[in-house]
Structure formats: structure tokens, C-alpha cells
A and B are shown apart, each in its own frame.
Chain A
């Protein structure tokens, strides 16, 4: 694939990010150690997702031409904090915080339609997100995630879009929180503006059940200190631009050189999150995709207002299996957030709402699962904690 402007921007921003990381590694014995600045780690993640092949309906002419369908999706992205402000009340007993993060994502969807040549539908996103936690029970979250979609190297298919989310999270107790808000999302293969409503029961660092419409539903059960298992159901999809190089005649329209392509799968499956340390976690997931749908929209006939698009071709596809795995790397030291349920909720929002609106979930690897008991301790590790008089 020929590199284009978006690839270069993504690479430059990534190099800047990486360079900043290396600056943290300098060791100078005379310098004063500064307190970590941020509550969020710099995060880099890689995700791969693939569905099984399904034959399309043979009655519809377009479906007959397309043959069979499956997708492979590769995603790489990052988010890193740029501003963190702690704001105190008069007696300094409440810490409200303001956190701003930059986000970036590149996703390549290989669309395999057996009857035509495969298409690589690319999506680049650069955005930002902000959290304001009032230090009591509330978090306000705003995300702007502008992105551009393009089919392979066909420049004329470039289309700019904006995904966004505004949320209010209320952490009533460490074991219960609810969220309300608004989201402008393309996850369902179309342009939707939806209310966001969610509740969670159970602590985020222990067993919990969470329903977050329209993002999904999860039952998460930690096993030991390093593994989280979950049963979940969630939508995964997107709206892309498609170069009509195969001259698909959509309805009565065949003059389009580009089309909008929308897809979604409804995933139901099991996921295993392994977190050897707070700096790295990876996940493996599999299950079934149900209620799958693909759609084509004519770009000349859709009206460019804020409503949803009307499709000219849609096909419901039968259930298939899917596989998903990902790696998440977290860099740099952060301010401690042990048992800080409000910051746990902020981290959960940051991990479950992915930059670029691809429906990915990085997993809560930065929320430690509490240890039940202490098994082994090295004397060096506790040197600072022990005074000589503690020994008698």
C-alpha cells in the first residue's frame, strides 16, 4: 500500500509519542525525582479481529454477485495524557481532577466479498478526550474523534466524519455507578446519534456486571491477580467509503464511483484478559457474531444532514464465529489510584470507549485486581517501610 498523508501523520504523531517516552528513561543521579504528573498511562494498543465466511443470499442480484462475506480487521492506536490538573477545595480534602488525553487510531478493514476483489477500507482518527472528576462522585467525559475513511489508495473516496461522546458518570458507591449521555457513533454501520445509558453493579476491581447501551453488556470475573474472564455481548462495525471499482449497480443508481459501506456484527462471546503487570495486558476472545448486516449507500443520493442514511442495498448475514485478540502496552508512571473508585470509573470509560469509534475494548489492565494475601516478599522491596524498632 502506498503511504499517503494520513499514514505519515499517524507515523509522525507516533514518533513524537515514542520520543517523549524515551525522555522518561533518562537516569540522572543528581536530579530530583518528580511526582508522576498524570493519572492515565500513555497507552499503545494493537487489535486484530476476524469473522468466519458466510454465503450471501442468492436471490438478490447484488448478493449473488458478492458471493460470500467475511472481514479481517487490524487496528493500532494510542492515547496519552497531555494535561492533568488537580484542584483542591478549601481544606484540601477533596481532589477534583481535570484530565485531557490525545488519541489516535489507524484501522484497516479487509473486506472479503468473494465475487469481487478484496477492499482495504482504511480509517484514521486523531482526537482528544477530557475527564473532569469532581472528587466526590461525578465524572464528566467528552470525546471528539474526527476520522477519515478511504478505500485503499483511492484518494477520491476520502470522507471526513466525526464521532463523539458526552457522558456523565455517577459513582454512587464503589460497587454501583450509572452513566447517561449522548453518542454520535458509526458502530452500527450507519450514522447514529444515540442516548448513552449504562449501569454497573459490582466493583471494577472485582466481579462486576455492566450494561452500557449502545456499547454492550459484560459480566467480568477476575480469577487470581492476573486474569479477568468475561462474558459479553457488543456491536462491532463501522461506516466506510468504498471505491466502486466493480461497478456495483445499487438500486437504480450506477453512476457512483464511490459508495458508503456500512457493516455491523453483534458479538456474543467470552474474553480472557491477562495482565502480567499494570504496564501490559493482552486479551483473547471468541464467540459468535449474530444479527450481522452489510449495507451500501449511494453517495449522490444520501442527504448530507445529521439524519441516518437510507441504504440502497442491505443484506442480513447468518451467524458465524469470530476471533479477536489484542495487546495493550502502558508506559510511564502514574499517580496512584488504589481503591479510588472514581478514577477506576474514569479508567473504565477510557478503556471501553475506543478512539476512532471501532467498538474495541482495551480491557481494564490499569485497574489492579486486589491481592487476597501476601505470598512472597523480597526484603529489598520493603526497605523503606521498615524501621529498626519495628523488629523488636
Chain B
């Protein structure tokens, strides 16, 4: 059978794309998907609770992630936290406190929202499930 060059090129591009795509699979999305599955399993949502809860929970996580990513862009392992001046070190500490403060405010805001759509016991079960998820992750990292 005569092989057409076009098809070979196409197959190569396809393989390259798949390979790149695997490599670029976003870390955050992987963890978010796992966390969503974990919380769903642990908290016994009704269909209507689930429909109301997840859009809000996703929105909260998007906001948390945007704040963390902004911080990470400025301060990350590459910069080695090696600040030339006291002023720069001060700015780093202030930025981190600011991030924590914003995260705290977001949690407070969204827990209030969750309480309006879920029984309080289920809101606490979500919180518990988040902690259990962290423990699960730590366990897996240790085993790795």
C-alpha cells in the first residue's frame, strides 16, 4: 500500500498534540476535579442542594485560586525569596498577609451563602470533607 505523506504528517501532528496535551494538563484542575468528587462522596447532597451548591463552591474556589496565582506570580521558588532590600522583604510579608486576609474574608462570605442553601450540618460536613481530602492527599504524597 502506498503511504501518503499527508497522512503520515497528520499522524505525527496528532501524536505530538496528544503528548503536549497530556503534559500541559493543568494541576489545579486535576486537584479540583478530585476534590469535587471527594466532597460529593462524603456529603450526602440532595439533587436540588447539589444544583445550588456547586456553582457557588466553584466560584469561591475560582476566586481563591486567582488570589493565590497572583501571589505566586510574584513570589515563587524561582525568586528564591532572596530579597535585596528590607523593603522588598516587607512587601512580601505584607502580600502574604493580604492574601490570607482575603482568603479568610472569602470563606466567611461563602459560608454565609452556603448556610442559606444547605442545612448548617451539611455546610460543616463540606468543611470536614475538605479537611479529609487534604489528609488523603498528604497520605498519598507520603506513600509516593
Question: Are these two chains actual partners, yes or no?
Answer: yes
With A34-B66, A174-B50, A385-B134 already in contact, the answer to whether A95 and B56 are too (CB < 8 A) is: yes
Q: Does A368 contact B (CB under 8 A)?
A: yes
Q: Residue B141 contacts which of A34, A335, A382 (CB distance < 8 angstroms)?
A: A382
Bound: A155/B96 CA distance, A: 64
**Contact B134–A390 (Cβ < 8 Å):** yes
Q: Residue B73 contacts which of A29, A280, A337, A372 (CB distance < 8 angstroms)?
A: A29
* Complex interface: chain A residues within 8 A of B32 (CB): 336, 338
Q: Does B140 contact A (CB under 8 A)?
A: yes
**Contact A374–B137 (Cβ < 8 Å):** yes
Q: Residue A341 contacts which of B24, B50, B73 (CB distance < 8 angstroms)?
A: B50
**Contact A382–B29 (Cβ < 8 Å):** no
**Contact B36–A33 (Cβ < 8 Å):** no
The chain A residue with its CB closest to the CB of B54 is A339
Q: Does B22 contact A (CB under 8 A)?
A: yes
Q: Does A20 contact B (CB under 8 A)?
A: no
A366-377 toward B: CB 8 Å interface, digit per residue (1/0)? 001011101111
Q: Does B4 contact A (CB under 8 A)?
A: no
B122-143 toward A: CB 8 Å interface, digit per residue (1/0)? 0000000001011111101100
The chain B residue with its CB closest to the CB of A176 is B47
Q: Residue B70 contacts which of A33, A280, A341, A343 (CB distance < 8 angstroms)?
A: A33
Q: Does A216 contact B (CB under 8 A)?
A: no
The chain B residue with its CB closest to the CB of A137 is B51
A1-43 toward B: CB 8 Å interface, digit per residue (1/0)? 0000000000000000000000000010111111110000000
Q: Residue B18 contacts which of A280, A368, A370, A382 (CB distance < 8 angstroms)?
A: A280
The chain B residue with its CB closest to the CB of A376 is B144
Binds B, one of A248-256, A271-279, A292-300, A349-357: A271-279
B66-92 toward A: CB 8 Å interface, digit per residue (1/0)? 111110011000000000000000000
Q: Residue B47 contacts which of A30, A94, A174, A335 (CB distance < 8 angstroms)?
A: A174
**Contact B31–A385 (Cβ < 8 Å):** yes
Bound: A300/B27 CA distance, A: 60
With A32-B70, A174-B47 already in contact, the answer to whether A335 and B62 are too (CB < 8 A) is: yes
**Contact B73–A374 (Cβ < 8 Å):** no
**Contact B62–A36 (Cβ < 8 Å):** yes
Q: Does A59 contact B (CB under 8 A)?
A: no
The chain A residue with its CB closest to the CB of B77 is A380
Bound: A384/B70 CA distance, A: 13
**Contact A371–B33 (Cβ < 8 Å):** yes
The 10 closest A-B pairs by CB, nearest first: A336-B58, A338-B36, A173-B47, A280-B21, A277-B25, A370-B37, A339-B54, A33-B69, A33-B70, A381-B27
List 8 other contacts, CB 8 Å, given A173-B51, A336-B59, A337-B55: A30-B74, A34-B66, A91-B113, A277-B24, A338-B54, A371-B33, A390-B135, A391-B138
Contact residues of B with A, CB < 8 Å? 14, 17-18, 21-22, 24-34, 36-38, 40, 47, 50-52, 54-56, 58-59, 61-63, 65-70, 73-74, 113, 116-117, 131, 133-138, 140-141, 144
